[in-house]
Chain A
Amino acid sequence: MKRIKILIVCISMLMIITACNSEGASSSGNKNEVSIWVHTSEETAEGKAMQNIIDRFNKEYEGKYSAQIEFIPRSGSGGGYEDKINAALTTNTLPDVLTLDGPNTAAYAESKIIAPIGEYITNKDDLLPSIIEQGTYEGKLYAVGYSESGVGVFYNKKMLKEAGVDLSTLPTVDDPWNWKQFMDLCEILVKKYDKPAVDMGLNDKSEWLMYAYTPFLWSQGGSILNEEKTKAIGYFNNEDAVKTMNFIQDMIDKGYTTKTPVEKAFQTEVYPMKFTGSWTIAEMESSYPKVDYGVMPYPTSPETNKLVSPSGSWQYAMSATTEKDKAAGALIDFMTSTESLTEIALANSVLPAAHSVVEKIKDEVSPQMQVLIEQNAKTAHARPVLPEYPQVSRVFQQTISAVTYPEENENVQKLLDEQAAKIDQALK
């Protein structure tokens, strides 16, 4: 009898455990209360700014709408947060508003996770073109980025001067250098220091390669896909693509850059230059305040001399299943107003997402940041918006990575033919 008693206790405990989980997320029935999921932690500057914005929204719309924010911190590559979105999809428990990374726009829109929000956004004309481009799928605006990002060539002023470079001749956003001029500079620096001249992040075999290297291709006038985004053969393996890849291969071949950079080589004044973004400005300020550095714009193709720079950010979007579209629309509109966007740009030291914000903060930020902001507002190019983005991006990353092995991939044309075929396979 005793055993049976123990057994009953065990089974009932198990039932309690399972019952606890079946409750699930219950969204409130109140039509005017919206929930929003964001991918950061509330401890970060970004999270705090978001909480502030939500508080302001609740105050301003008191009695009409209210919003509840939930922080779901992501791991490096977007992990935790996206898992939660995927789980919510199967159980139909998505929030009314959510954040998503730029490259996810198409997949989410195509799968009807997010709904078009164009009609709710009042300051569309103020948003930067790259923000609109990133959030638009099949002609409709689905998501609005709340900040921007960009990459420039960070250079160590002292090291350049010592190598005999006149800093006043360095390029500006209005007068950029082409690849040839940039390589001439590298040549001087390599001769002087007998080290790679620039860290281009080639040891990072992830999204960075797509994000930072596609602008070279676009500057050359090439593209990964045709305009309809249906095929890569004939585009990713055409003359423009070959020339772009040759430039990258030359950078490696001549020792100007390396696929195995020394850790923090730019920050510790070992390499004179580095391709990096606004996050490094924050890092230099906090950890390497003694290094005197400047930022120059992206090098351009000698054939077009057109400056194109990387761009991309996380965005707000409305879930397609929400019944509170008016309230959710009002919230997104509020969160992408000049005031809210300014708050987030300043708090998180990221680039602004709208023209009006550029004007507002331009004089408040560091000169290095000003270069990135100007370059971004004038030349940013969003990554392609298509559902198969992860596959396309991975093939692009692997192509860049392969090009940096000149011995194995001397024939760039052959490599690109293969890679273009891989993309077409994924698009099928």
Chain B
Amino acid sequence: MKRINLKENLVAYSFMSPALILLGTFLLLPALMAVYYAFTDYYLLTPQDKKFIGLENFVQLFNDPVFLQSLKNIFIFVICVIPIQVGAALGLALLINKNRRGNLFFKVAYFSPVVLSLVVISVLWLYLLNPSDGMINAILEKVGIEPQPFLTSPDQAMYTIVFVSAWQGAGYQMLIFLAGLQNIPSSVYEASKIDGANNWQNFLHITLPLLKPTSILIMITTLIAAFKLIIQPMVMTQGGPMNSTMTPVYYIYQTGFSDRLIGYASAMTVVFGILIGIVTIIQSRISKEDE
């Protein structure tokens, strides 16, 4: 019996090995190397000359106003984008969950921004949001609202990116919510109907609680994706005006590949990685406690 178990395990692990090897080479190994580089003065063009410099990078990091600002920016982004994006996704899912005519059209329409490349979306919105001749300001003017600077204002730029990101991303979560909604058995609703519950009570006491596993999944994936924000500011604002849309990942990219300070950039990835880890753990704790 034991022998068979051993053999079975061996076979199982062997089947897993291609995936494990790939995961190890392209994910685990680079991550470990980044931790190592974080303690060196690795300059992109002289890889052979890197030497161990202890905590120097980290000391510099916590005195780097741009990095600290980028952390502040990303927290603003995450805090704003999650409720908007997840809320919109849930709303859209509820809208198209009912069997109505033309449902397929709306499903495709809501999902289409997800299919498009983020760069395309960003360029598109850049045109729409142009303060001088963009369509959005033209519409605002028609309804009597002052034209807005949007991406060119240090106060509005990040919130504009929040809006564009939520608009782009909501379609994807909508699909997952939709799957969750369709998993809720209709018998529960029938029972509540007999009890005389109205639509709102149905939503609050049946739909939401039964969607909880789906919601947790969506929250965690959206959170992690939101922290990785880079393409929208890169294309739309280059981190400006005055670093108001600089994000950690963008700053890491800039430091590593434009300034060529791989060591310093690695230190940032380590700190930022730990931060994301902490936030994710806190979040999963909170959602477990609720149960």
Partner of A401, one of B46, B133, B240, B254: B240
**Residue contact B45 to A398, C-beta cutoff 8 Å:** no
Across the interface, name the chain B residue whose C-beta is closest to A90.
B47
Across the interface, name the chain A residue whose C-beta is closest to B66.
A422
The segment out of A257-265, A348-356, A360-368 that lies at the interface is A257-265
Partner of B44, one of A86, A263, A394: A86
Q: Which chain B positions have C-beta within 8 A of A3?
A: 11, 15
**Residue contact B243 to A111, C-beta cutoff 8 Å:** no
Interface residue B87 (Cβ < 8 Å from any Cβ of A): no
Which residues of chain B (1-46) have a CB below 8 Å from chain A? 11, 14-15, 17-18, 21, 43-46
Interface residue B107 (Cβ < 8 Å from any Cβ of A): no
Interface residue A108 (Cβ < 8 Å from any Cβ of B): yes
Partner of B133, one of A11, A89, A262: A262
**Residue contact B154 to A7, C-beta cutoff 8 Å:** no
Interface residue B238 (Cβ < 8 Å from any Cβ of A): yes
CA distance A118 to B258 in the complex (A): 28
**Residue contact B45 to A107, C-beta cutoff 8 Å:** yes
Q: Which chain A positions have C-beta within 8 A of B130?
A: 260, 262-263
Across the interface, name the chain A residue whose C-beta is closest to B243.
A398
CA distance A233 to B159 in the complex (A): 35
CA distance A262 to B259 in the complex (A): 32
- Contact status of A398 and B242, CB under 8 A, knowing A107-B260, A111-B46, A113-B45: yes
Q: Which chain B positions have C-beta within 8 A of A205?
A: 237-240
Which residues of chain A (374-426) have a CB below 8 Å from chain B? 388, 390-391, 394, 398, 401-402, 405, 408, 426
CA distance A263 to B127 in the complex (A): 9
**Residue contact A7 to B152, C-beta cutoff 8 Å:** no
- Contact status of A259 and B152, CB under 8 A, knowing A390-B258, A398-B242: yes
- Contact status of A408 and B132, CB under 8 A, knowing A14-B21, A86-B45, A108-B45: no
B110 to chain A, nearest CB (A): 29
- Contact status of A14 and B18, CB under 8 A, knowing A260-B132, A263-B130, A391-B259: yes
Across the interface, name the chain A residue whose C-beta is closest to B49.
A111
Q: Which chain A positions have C-beta within 8 A of B11?
A: 3-4, 7
Partner of A11, one of B17, B46, B152, B242: B17
**Residue contact A260 to B45, C-beta cutoff 8 Å:** no
Q: Which chain A positions have C-beta within 8 A of B259?
A: 388, 390-391, 394, 426
Partner of A260, one of B46, B47, B149, B238: B149
Complex interface bits, A259-290 against B, C-beta within 8 A gives 1, otherwise 0? 11111000000000000000000000000000
- Contact status of A89 and B47, CB under 8 A, knowing A260-B132, A262-B133: yes
CA distance A11 to B131 in the complex (A): 57
Partner of B14, one of A7, A90, A206: A7
CA distance A398 to B251 in the complex (A): 14
Across the interface, name the chain B residue whose C-beta is closest to A10.
B18
Q: Which chain B positions have C-beta within 8 A of A391?
A: 259
Interface residue B241 (Cβ < 8 Å from any Cβ of A): yes
Q: Which chain A positions have C-beta within 8 A of B14?
A: 7, 11
Across the interface, name the chain A residue whose C-beta is closest to B262.
A86
Q: Which chain A positions have C-beta within 8 A of B131?
A: 260
Q: Which chain A positions have C-beta within 8 A of B254?
A: 394
- Contact status of A398 and B258, CB under 8 A, knowing A260-B152, A262-B132, A263-B133: no
Q: Which chain B positions have C-beta within 8 A of A82?
A: 257
Across the interface, name the chain A residue whose C-beta is closest to B242.
A402
**Residue contact B132 to A258, C-beta cutoff 8 Å:** yes
**Residue contact A206 to B18, C-beta cutoff 8 Å:** no
Instruction: Please tell me the number of chain A residues within 8 Å of chain B, measured between CB atoms.
Output: 36
CA distance A41 to B132 in the complex (A): 35
Q: Which chain A positions have C-beta within 8 A of B154?
A: 405, 408
Partner of A398, one of B46, B47, B240: B240
Q: Which chain A positions have C-beta within 8 A of B243?
A: 398
Q: Which chain B positions have C-beta within 8 A of A260?
A: 130-132, 149, 152
Q: Which chain B positions have C-beta within 8 A of A89?
A: 45, 47
CA distance A83 to B238 in the complex (A): 20
Q: Which chain A positions have C-beta within 8 A of B260?
A: 107, 390
- Contact status of A401 and B45, CB under 8 A, knowing A14-B21, A260-B130, A263-B130: no
A95 to chain B, nearest CB (A): 16
Which residues of chain A (78-135) have a CB below 8 Å from chain B? 82-83, 86, 89-90, 107-108, 110-113
B245 to chain A, nearest CB (A): 11
Q: Which chain B positions have C-beta within 8 A of A408?
A: 154, 242
Complex interface bits, B41-64 against A, C-beta within 8 A gives 1, otherwise 0? 001111100000000000000000
Best-surrounded residue of A110, A111, A258 (most CB of chain B within 10 A): A111
**Residue contact A401 to B132, C-beta cutoff 8 Å:** no
Q: Which chain B positions have C-beta within 8 A of A111?
A: 43, 45-46
CA distance A86 to B259 in the complex (A): 13
Across the interface, name the chain B residue whose C-beta is closest to A91.
B47
- Contact status of A11 and B238, CB under 8 A, knowing A108-B45, A111-B45: no
CA distance A203 to B45 in the complex (A): 31
Which residues of chain B (230-279) have a CB below 8 Å from chain A? 237-243, 254, 257-260
Which residues of chain A (204-220) have a CB below 8 Å from chain B? 205-206
CA distance A113 to B14 in the complex (A): 44
CA distance A408 to B242 in the complex (A): 10
CA distance A205 to B243 in the complex (A): 11
Q: Which chain B positions have C-beta within 8 A of A206?
A: 238
Across the interface, name the chain B residue whose C-beta is closest to A83.
B257
Q: Which chain B positions have C-beta within 8 A of A112?
A: 46
B260 to chain A, nearest CB (A): 7
B54 to chain A, nearest CB (A): 17
Complex interface bits, A1-42 against B, C-beta within 8 A gives 1, otherwise 0? 001100100110010000000000000000000000000000
CA distance A89 to B43 in the complex (A): 12
Q: Which residues of B contact A (CB under 8 A)?
A: 11, 14-15, 17-18, 21, 43-47, 127, 130-133, 149, 152, 154, 237-243, 254, 257-260
Closest 6 CB pairs of A and B: A111-B45, A205-B238, A260-B131, A262-B133, A111-B46, A260-B132
Beyond A90-B47, A391-B259, A394-B254, 18 additional contacts (C-beta under 8 Å) are: A7-B11, A7-B14, A10-B18, A14-B21, A86-B45, A89-B47, A107-B260, A110-B45, A205-B237, A258-B132, A260-B131, A261-B132, A262-B130, A388-B259, A390-B260, A398-B242, A402-B241, A405-B154
Q: Which residues of A contact B (CB under 8 A)?
A: 3-4, 7, 10-11, 14, 82-83, 86, 89-90, 107-108, 110-113, 203, 205-206, 258-263, 388, 390-391, 394, 398, 401-402, 405, 408, 426
